[in-house]
Structure 1
């Protein structure tokens, strides 16, 4: 058996125990206690057990202690490899990811890690493993998420122009309203709720795939909903059809919910039952139509997402009355929390002076 390595003599056992008590590194502390036991004359095998190691490992730490002192007993943290892509190359890579692939040139409609591996190799001459591409994407702020649907005919510039010019639009539509009359901004939309229901994401143990009931029947109803984000209130009706009669009933319901003495500006899309001349718009409501194919401008779209995620998805409705009951219960749960309505619905461009 090799002779025991002698410990340096400029530290006493008491010194090492004091250093162990004040150390912020647990592993350094237990190694100091083992060496203190050695200085007290304890058998080295027993001293090694104090630090949770074997005798050979203790011998290695004795060498480190003799060469570097107490700091040599700290764990050595790996510094990692040198970055293989420069900061400028990473920015260029981010632009490539954000722009997306060209179907004719790249042969795909979305980037996969194996595609980006090839792009990096061709563009920057650096070869990565496919798994590393995922880590690289997270590093530059690109998580793997689901895309939102967008109408192919949507024009972003039209939406931006509507938001920019909204104060002027509001002023033009309210020419008949007394200047001192309070004005409320409302948003309106409809959602189909039925037996052919959706499934939403949920927390589950890694490696499992949760199952939820999914009905294949087609019985459904329509929830007409409107919110006033500034007040945190809403008005809704559950109806069997989405038509002019249902819209008229909803307008009347909104009119009754508008604050007494106030005038409501109701922003809504261009569905046929919104634009028909057969509607009798209440005197305390003015309609403003949103640009075509612009659901992003209507926060009620986000309200539907919120209701489905929390109360309407992952369930089966036996019959039409159950659909109506579920829709009403979900809306009541929403209106019971005015702060949620405000949080979902407030828009800088629409609520100038109300934020």
Structure 2
């Protein structure tokens, strides 16, 4: 038989029973009471009866306790089998993911786990299941995410140049048109709200397909919205159509919401009703067009998505007035949450943080 392992001498029965009363881990409590029996002069067999285990397991507890103290009696998560992929294989897999598939060569337009598992086998002769590969990818920080749409004719260099030079352009406006006044950065955009309403994702049991109402009628209105992320402020109008008159009314509304004594630089896309020389521009506003085909530079797009997902989708609008009521209510909801506007809309390239 194995030689008995003595318990460490810096603990005793009292410390063990007090620790057992404080413990919130049932397994640790059982082990503490079993060892308290030994400190009281009981045998290993007595401790095994208290712990409802064999004497060999009591010996294992003692070895862990002597090495680590009370923490050694806590349950531990099994480390599991070692990873099938080493650092070199993970680096190559990450490069394959970042590069994406070549449809003519790989036969797919997006990587599936089964495709990547096949590639790992062909490249390294390592057989790996899709479940194991999924855990490996998650451990590497990858998730299966929805892709952000990008215009096919977008000039990425123009986008980078705009963001890089934005603060310099803002400083020039502050020194000229703003005449030394504080400058606020605003973003402006429009969203159609109508009876042909989108359907959003929703929680449901796996294997089912939840339903949501969908209208085929075409009545609609346009929510003109602008926000100042730094202040968490906004200004909006609901208009029947997008044209120069509607945009003029919206600029007047933004002008009224600019902080007293400040000048607003309003960033907006290059829609015709934004750029027309017929558009009257208030004295405390300067318009700055965003690069063409670059909606991702306008954070109001993210705000529209949040508003649709939470207050406008999955609804049937009975009439045009019903559309107006819901659009106005949705904007009031977001205006009442300035911290959310700041969270969704702040951009490092625009605010210099």
TM-score range, shorter chain: 0.7 to 0.9
Return the offset for 1:273.
1.0
Return the offset for 1:328.
0.5
Partner of 2:86: 86
Q: Which moved more, 1:335-344 or 1:28-37?
A: 28-37
Return the offset for 1:151.
0.8
Conserved? CA contact 2:178–2:263, under 8 Å: no
Query: Aligned pair 1:235/2:235, yes or no?
Result: yes
CA distance in structure 2 between the aligned counterparts of 1:77 and 1:180, rounded to whole angstroms? 62
TM-score under structure 2 normalisation? Answer: 0.82
- Could you say what secondary structure the match of 2:350 adopts? coil
Conserved? CA contact 2:174–2:183, under 8 Å: no
- Could you say what secondary structure the match of 2:301 adopts? helix
Matches within 5 A, 1:97-246: 97-173=97-173, 176-177=176-177, 179-204=179-204, 209-246=209-246
- Residues 83/244 of structure 1: CA separation in 2 closer, same or farther (3 Å cut): same
Return the offset for 1:17.
9.1
Matches within 5 A, 1:41-56: 51=51
Partner of 2:68: none
TM-score under structure 1 normalisation? Answer: 0.82
- Residues 207/19 of structure 1: CA separation in 2 closer, same or farther (3 Å cut): farther
Conserved? CA contact 2:31–2:61, under 8 Å: no
Q: Which moved more, 1:266-275 or 1:62-71?
A: 62-71
- Residues 173/65 of structure 1: CA separation in 2 closer, same or farther (3 Å cut): closer
Partner of 1:306: 306
Q: Any unmatched runs of 5+ in structure 2?
A: 66-71
- Could you say what secondary structure the match of 2:351 adopts? coil
- Could you say what secondary structure the match of 1:226 adopts? strand
Figure out how many residues of one structure are paired with residues of the other and give that number: 337
CA distance in structure 2 between the aligned counterparts of 1:16 and 1:206, rounded to whole angstroms? 52
CA distance in structure 1 between the aligned counterparts of 2:188 and 2:108, rounded to whole angstroms? 38
Q: Which moved more, 1:128-137 or 1:70-79?
A: 70-79
Conserved? CA contact 1:264–1:285, under 8 Å: yes
Partner of 2:55: 62
- Residues 321/70 of structure 1: CA separation in 2 closer, same or farther (3 Å cut): same
Return the offset for 1:9.
10
CA distance in structure 1 between the aligned counterparts of 2:113 and 2:285, rounded to whole angstroms? 52
- Could you say what secondary structure the match of 1:150 adopts? coil
Conserved? CA contact 1:17–1:32, under 8 Å: no
CA distance in structure 1 between the aligned counterparts of 2:6 and 2:285, rounded to whole angstroms? 88
CA distance in structure 2 between the aligned counterparts of 1:141 and 1:186, rounded to whole angstroms? 34
- Residues 196/8 of structure 1: CA separation in 2 closer, same or farther (3 Å cut): same
Conserved? CA contact 2:222–2:241, under 8 Å: yes
Return the offset for 1:88.
2.5
Return the offset for 1:182.
2.4
Partner of 2:346: 346
Q: Any unmatched runs of 5+ in structure 1?
A: none
Return the offset for 1:175.
6.2
- Could you say what secondary structure the match of 2:339 adopts? helix
Query: Aligned pair 1:320/2:313, yes or no?
Result: no
Conserved? CA contact 2:5–2:63, under 8 Å: no
Per-residue displacement from partner, 1:82-123 (whole Å, max 9, x unpaired)? 332221221221121122111111000000010000111122
CA distance in structure 2 between the aligned counterparts of 1:98 and 1:310, rounded to whole angstroms? 32
- Could you say what secondary structure the match of 1:282 adopts? coil
CA distance in structure 2 between the aligned counterparts of 1:273 and 1:93, rounded to whole angstroms? 48
CA distance in structure 2 between the aligned counterparts of 1:168 and 1:65, rounded to whole angstroms? 71
Per-residue displacement from partner, 1:62-90 (whole Å, max 9, x unpaired)? 24446884649966854322332221221
Conserved? CA contact 1:184–1:264, under 8 Å: yes
Conserved? CA contact 2:162–2:291, under 8 Å: yes
Per-residue displacement from partner, 1:203-225 (whole Å, max 9, x unpaired)? 44556544332323222111010
- Could you say what secondary structure the match of 1:148 adopts? coil
Return the offset for 1:251.
1.4
- Could you say what secondary structure the match of 1:350 adopts? helix
Partner of 1:263: 263
Return the offset for 1:178.
5.2
